[in-house]
Amino acid sequence: MRELSEWSVSDSGTGDDEIVANGNRLLIGNGYLGYRGTVEEADASYLPACNLSGVYDRRGGLWREPVNAPNGLSVRLRATGAADGDHPLSIKDSSLASHEQVLDFRYGVHSRSSAWRLGGAEVRVRAERFASLADVHLLCLRYSIRADLDIRLEIRQGIDCVLWDINGPHLEGRAFARDGGELSVSCRTQELGIPLAVVSLSALSFEPASEAVDESSGHFRILALDAKAGVDYTLCVFSSVYTGLDKDGDPLAAARASAGRAAAEGYASALATQKEKWDAIWEKGDVVIEGDDYSRRALRYSLYQLQIIAPRHAEGLSIPARGLSGQTYKGAIFWDTEMFIAPYFLHAEPAVARNFIAYRIATLDGARRKAREYGYRGAFYAWESQETGDDACSHFNVVDVFTGRPMRTYFRDKQVHISADVAYSIKRYIDITGDSSILDEGGLEVILECARFYISFAYYSPERGRYEILDVTGPDEYHERVNNDAFTNRMIRHCLDAARECLSLLGRTAPESLERIVAKIGFGADLGRLEELRAALYVPSPGEDGVIEQFDGYSRLEDCGLDELRSRALDPREYWGGANGIASGTRVIKQADVVLMLNLFGADYPPEIKKANLDYYEPRTEHGSSLSRCVYSLLACETGDSEWAYPFFRKTAEIDLTGDSKHYAGLVYIGGTHPAANGGAWMAAVLGFCGLSIVDGKIILKPRLPAAWTSVSFSLSLRNVEYAVVVETGGYTIREK
């Protein structure tokens, strides 16, 4: 049974589905690595993982995906002296008497308590672990055993090299070394030969009766323990992971030094430091909802999920669509980061949002290569972006559930709005922070190359006397290869506007830099084309009923209800989009599209237009993406209906608590955590219900709290000043910290 408390979530489930869900739900991390919420004795069938940020590998012709490091916190316990025979003590064993796992999301600590009844004896294990924020390479574990009768136990502790991979194995050339309680594994990735080292250093509170080494599936110490009744036996494990991408010299030497420092410090001291680090994070990033305990807890949990994947440790890293919870979606960075994750950090910790931009700057050449691949100029950013910015997205990204064959999809080559999304995030960063230095550090080059891509992509219709954007796929992925998608066209218009404004801004503040950048990329010849496209680009406008047609011809599709469409599905896993999907010939859409546009550019549209589109599109939206509901919540707040918006917020905030989300697209597993929804929950609460906006460097608040909420308190970082904000139903207070 799952329970959500003020700062913790617990679960006692031991079924296969519950084990997988808890791997996501009870995740710990620190931006460098994410360690799934599995038990210490987990083998590969439990889907354990220590996923590393920014480290990718490809095996053969399969999809590239992030690397899952060998598990340095593996501990397996066997009762070898039980009255009813030997027992491997796992949560799947029939002798299990009780079990609970808990995630303390205030301090990022995972704990478990499990007991087994072996004849007349009970053996209980209590363990807790955390991913260090002080040393992001480090995982710390304290594991204690207690029996109520004398019993002989065997402890198998060390580094498990039999990993859960979707398209692995990814590591080869394993080499083991041992020095007392220190075990190590050195290996390398298959594709690029990136070296990787894991060290597991253990400290025991007891003397084992005997000790041996096992190297069959990893590198383990086998410890025999004659446990006395009522005595606690504890081992503390300090495991460190380094790769050749880290700038610390030899990975093995660095991992040994890291684990050695932690062991010398001791578990209790390392945990105290961990709590200090988390206190500082929550001081900036917490949001406190009063009057509604569940919403407060669910939102805090969502923010925890964002904080454990924030790449503070290195420049030029971003956040994948499933965070660090596994290898789903190839560990790739999508538009999710710019549009749904960045806003939280932009307001709470701008340096993290700046790092997302640094990632796009660093991967600009990959975007240029993609544009050339399709015959265009400029930067066409990857739909699924990994470390180089080259597109990891396949042309056959979904498997047909009926034939088992890959289906041609158009995410990679037709979702051209991605470049405009990147440009939007840079311009928004400058508007909020006032920090235009990012332009001179590559930001302007990115914006101009995105604009150049659209200059080469747009089609001029002589008959209509306008530029159009043809053959694209918008955020609603169920309708592919459409013309003049409203969201896409409006985002392109913003990209062109951003290019003009940033050219002007840098011209005023750093004219020499502007001249250098324009000359470097030869953009002088495109300045006139930029103005021409901007002036004549078609952006769909509201019809007589106030509704903006999502794309050309959308209104001619069958107006089929959601229930009717669901009844047509032959398999619950079938994909609704594509050429043959059941939604493609109807007006049913996957997620917010026009509604998202109205949120991003709300100043362009009066309330009655927003209301008309909200009322029209929501009944036709399946919400088949975790990105969708928060957008409807935001626009409902804008139109004055906070009560209608409230359940959409709740559904978004609890997505990783309940595990109630899509796990398959066709036959492709897409499970894991949902950072974009986590960010969307913050957006709905703070931008929606509190009505926060930043205009010309000033804080604007328009409270519209739901009836269940009495107040919302949060911190805001604006132009190097920290503010404490309290929003109540009848007003608000803002003070400098």
Taking Cα atoms as reference points, which of 431, 511, 475 lies closest to residue 718?
431
Instruction: Report the pLDDT value the prediction gives residue 664, as an integer from 0 to 100.
Output: 59
Side-by-side strand order, sheet with 50-57: 28-29, 33-35, 50-57, 65-68
Q: Select from 486, 716, 433, 476 the least CA-distant residue to 583.
A: 476
pLDDT in tens, 432-464: 999 999 999 999 999 999 999 999 999 999 999
Q: Give residue 120's pLDDT.
A: 84
Rounded-to-integer distance, Cα 131 and Cα 273, Å: 12
Residue 482 CA to residue 485 CA, distance in Å, equals 7
What span, in angstroms and rounded, lies between the C-alpha atoms of 311 and 355? 8
Residue 515 is which amino acid? E
Helices and strands: H and E segment counts in the chain? 22, 31
Asked if 154 is an active-site residue, the reply is no
Residues 77 and 222 both lie in one domain: yes
Taking alpha carbons only, the member of 240, 250, 258, 261 closest to residue 184 is 240
Q: Are residues 474 and 550 in the same domain?
A: yes
Dihedral (CA of 247, 251, 257, 263) sign = positive
Q: Using CA atoms in the order 576, 581, 586, 588, what is the torsion angle rounded to 10 degrees?
A: 10
Is residue 202 within 8 Å of 178, Cβ to Cβ? no
* pLDDT for position 674: 95
- Helix (H) or strand (E) segment spanning residue 515: helix 511-521
Element (H, E) at 460: strand 459-461
What's the pLDDT at 661? 65
Condensed to tens digits (0 to 9), the pLDDT of residues 475-527 reads 999 999 999 999 999 999 999 999 999 999 999 999 999 999 999 999 999 99
User: CB-hemisphere CA count at 13 Å for 391?
Assistant: 27
Q: Which long-range contacts (CB under 8 A, 24 or more apart) does 601-605 make?
A: 601/490, 601/494, 602/638, 605/542
Radius of gyration of the chain measured on its C-alpha atoms: 27
Same domain, 346 and 411: yes
Interhelix angle 444-457/364-373, rounded to 10 degrees, is: 10
Instruction: Please report whether residue 400 resides in a domain.
Output: yes
User: What is the CATH classification number for the domain harbouring 411?
Assistant: 1.50.10.10
258-264: long-range contacts (C-beta < 8 A, 24 or more apart)?
Answer: 258/135, 258/137, 258/138, 258/199, 259/138, 259/182, 259/199, 259/200, 259/201, 260/182, 260/201, 261/135, 262/132, 262/135, 262/138, 262/140, 262/201, 262/238, 263/201, 263/203, 263/236, 263/238
Question: Final residue of a domain: which of 255, 270, 304?
Answer: 255
The SS3 of residue 80 is coil
Q: Quote the domain boundaries for residue 481.
A: 290-736
Give the pLDDT of residue 398: 85
Contact (CB, 8 A) for 442 and 450: no
Tell me which of 239, 255, 271 is where a domain ends: 255
Q: What share of the chain is helix, strand, coil (3-state, %, to 5)?
A: 35, 25, 35
Do 335 and 240 share a structural domain? no
| Amino acid at residue number 645 | A
Q: Pick the catalytic residue from 41, 477, 574, 638.
A: 477
> How far is the C-alpha of 450 from the C-alpha of 423, rounded, in Å?
7
Give the amino acid at 673.
Answer: T
- Same domain, residue pair 344 and 251: no
Structure confidence by residue, pLDDT tens digits, 306-339: 999 999 999 999 999 999 999 999 999 999 999 9
* Residue 668 confidence (pLDDT): 61
State how far Cα 559 lies from the chain centre.
34
Asked if the structure places residue 261 within a domain, the reply is no
Residues 300 and 248 in one domain: no
Closest CA to 629 of 651, 604, 661, 660: 651
Asked, for residue 180, whether it belongs to a domain, the answer is: yes
As given in the structure block, the two tokens for residue 316 are 């030029």
Same domain, 642 and 720: yes
Q: What is the pLDDT of residue 2?
A: 83
CA-CA distance, 661 to 37, in Å (whole number)? Answer: 18
Considering 235, 255, 275, which residue would you say is the last residue of a domain? 255
> Do 250 and 306 belong together in one domain?
no
Is residue 260 included in any domain, yes or no? no
| 264 located within any domain | no
Write the CA distances from 447 to 380, 518, 523, 725, integer angstroms.
Answer: 11, 12, 11, 33
Of 374, 349, 398, nearest in space to 471 by CA = 374
Spatial separation of the C-alpha atoms in residues 487 and 539, rounded to whole Å: 9
Q: How many CA atoms lie within 13 A of 265 on its CB side?
A: 21
- Under a CB-based contact definition with an 8 Å cutoff, are residues 162 and 218 in contact? yes
Give the integer Cα–Cα distance in Å for 639 and 610.
Answer: 7
Name residue, tokens 């011209």: 507
The answer to whether residue 570 is domain-embedded is: yes
- Number of structural domains in the chain: 2
Here the tokens at position 555 are: 């209104």
DSSP codes joined into one string, 607-666? HHHHHHHHHHHGGGB---STTHHHHHHHHHHHTT-HHHHHHHHHHHHTHHHH--S--EEB
Please tell me whether residue 125 adopts helix, strand or coil conformation.
strand
Same domain, 393 and 437: yes
Contacts 24+ apart (CB under 8 A), 45-49: 45/164, 46/19, 46/164, 47/19, 47/20, 47/23, 47/164, 47/326, 48/23, 48/160, 48/163, 48/164, 49/23, 49/163, 49/164, 49/325, 49/326, 49/327
Residue 717 lies in a domain: yes
At residue 542, the 3 state secondary structure works out as coil
Are both 247 and 295 inside the same structural domain?
Answer: no
For 546, left (φ over 0), alpha (ψ -120 to 50), or beta?
Answer: left
What span, in angstroms and rounded, lies between the C-alpha atoms of 503 and 510?
10
Which CATH number do you get for residue 69?
2.70.98.40
Residue 640 gets the label, from left (phi > 0), alpha (psi -120 to 50) or beta, of left
Under-50 pLDDT residues of the chain: none
Largest CA distance in the chain: 90
Residues 222 and 353 in one domain: no
Average confidence score pLDDT of the chain:
95
Residue 279 placed within a domain: no
Could you give the CA distance from residue 232 to residue 417 in angstroms, rounded to a whole number? 59
Report d(CA 507, CA 292) in Å as an integer: 50
**195 and 75, same structural domain?**
yes
